[in-house]
Amino acid sequence: MSISKNELKKISSLNRKSKRKEHGLFIVEGEKNCNELIESNYEVEIILATSKVVSLFPGAIKCSKKELVRISNLKNTSDVIAVSKIPKDLNYENDDKPIIYLDNINDPGNLGSIIRSLDWFGFKHVFCSENTVDQYNNKTIMASMGSIFRIQAHYINYQDFRKKFSKHNLYISSLNGNNIQGIQLKKKAIMVIGSESNGVSDEIENENHQAVKIPGMGKAESLNAGVATGIILHEMING
């Protein structure tokens, strides 16, 4: 069995968000991520692999490296690429953990790192502003190292989000906040992580909240969103 040029063209188009939305599909690259996909609850559409690794993925279609390069959005193309269906009708299940809201995170690598950290600390959900980068961006998936398949990302505008969790106490990450190590978070807590360049949006800043920061001792201007979120999660869980 082989794959047609039209099928390759369709799969390659999934590197664009609009096409992922149109077809309800996304690309997964690399042996680790493809294995994580197979072991998850996601529905695999197709797996393409070179002769080097095709035997490791039962049911995979053997392809040339050249064909995979045509699909890949990475500099170093993997020997295996899978296509998965985007799950529908995700529901939030209250697990008594603090709620994380990502406000306009635009770097896919940072989003992937945040998802990986959430997975590490036992979270199952994350809420994202509608302007936050797509969770199924290839770079996000790669940076998540498989955690993308265990974290449900819910994209929702802030006003609707706040109505949904109106009784939760609001905390935001800010360079002008109080030391997070000295703060006892309320049980029903929302932590907002702002964008890498602009921080938390004015809409959220203007709401009643408590600002927290990670104290630094060096001269760096700030931490990137991925690193900062990992530290904040540690303090929230273990503080």
Same domain, residue pair 79 and 109: no
Domain finish residue from 27, 58, 85: 85
Q: Would you say residue 90 lies in a domain?
A: no
List the single range of 36-40, 70-74, 179-183, 230-234 with lowest mean pLDDT.
Answer: 179-183
Give the residue numbers spanning the domain of 55.
5-85
Question: How far apart are alpha carbons 156 and 96 in whole angstroms?
Answer: 20
Residue 239 has pLDDT above 70, yes or no: no
Domain edge (last residue) among 34, 58, 85: 85
Neighbour tally for 116: CB within 10 Å:
20
- Per-residue confidence (pLDDT) for residue 174, from 0 to 100: 82
CATH number of the domain residue 37 falls in: 3.30.1330.30
Question: 112 and 192, same structural domain?
Answer: yes
Domain membership flag for residue 210: yes
Radius of gyration from C-alpha coordinates of the chain: 20
For 200-223, give one letter per residue: b (16+ CB within 10 A) or e: bbeebeeeebebbbbeeeeeeeeb
**Does 93 map to a domain?**
no
- Same-domain pairing of 114 and 231: yes
My answer on whether 110 and 78 are in the same domain is no
- What is the number of domains present in the chain? 2
Q: State pLDDT tens for residues 99-158.
A: 999 999 999 999 999 999 999 999 999 999 999 999 999 999 999 999 999 999 999 999
Alpha-carbon distance 177 to 166, whole Å?
A: 22
Give me the CATH number covering residue 190. 3.40.1280.10
HSE, CB side, 13 Å, CA atoms: give it for residue 29.
25
How high does pLDDT run on average in the chain? 90
Q: Same structural domain for residues 59 and 129? A: no
Question: Whole-angstrom distance between the N-terminal and C-terminal Cα of the chain?
Answer: 55
The reported pLDDT for the residue numbered 75 is: 84
Do 149 and 185 have their domain in common? yes
Sheet bearing 61-62, strands edge to edge: 25-29, 80-85, 44-49, 61-62
Question: Is residue 76 pLDDT above 90, yes or no?
Answer: no
Instruction: Give the predicted TM-score (pTM) of the model.
Output: 0.91
Token readout for 160 is 């609707």
Would you say residue 92 lies in a domain? no
Q: CB burial class (10 A; 0-12, 13-18, 19+) of residue 147?
A: buried
169 and 139 co-located in one domain: yes
Same-domain status, 114 and 207: yes
94 within some domain: no
> Cα–Cα distances in Å, from 168 out to 2, 24, 60, 104, 149?
53, 33, 47, 21, 27
Cite the DSSP H helix spans in 84-128. 108-120
Question: Which amino acid appears at position 189 of this protein?
Answer: A
44 DSSP β-pair partners? 84
Q: Are 103 and 81 in the same domain?
A: no
Domain boundary among 29, 55, 85: 85
Of residues 47 and 183, more confidently modeled: 47
Alpha helices by DSSP H, listed for the chain, are 5-13, 17-23, 31-39, 65-71, 108-120, 138-144, 158-164, 202-205, 225-238
Of 2-6, 33-37, 185-189, give the lowest mean pLDDT range. 185-189
Residue 143 resides in a domain: yes
Q: What is the reported pLDDT for 1?
A: 65
Q: Is residue 37 part of a domain?
A: yes
Within a domain: 199: yes
State whether 78 and 167 are in the same domain: no
Answer yes or no: do 109 and 68 share one domain.
no
Distance in angstroms (rounded) separating the CA atoms of residues 229 and 192: 10
Q: Looking at the structure, do residues 159 and 65 belong to the same domain, yes or no?
A: no
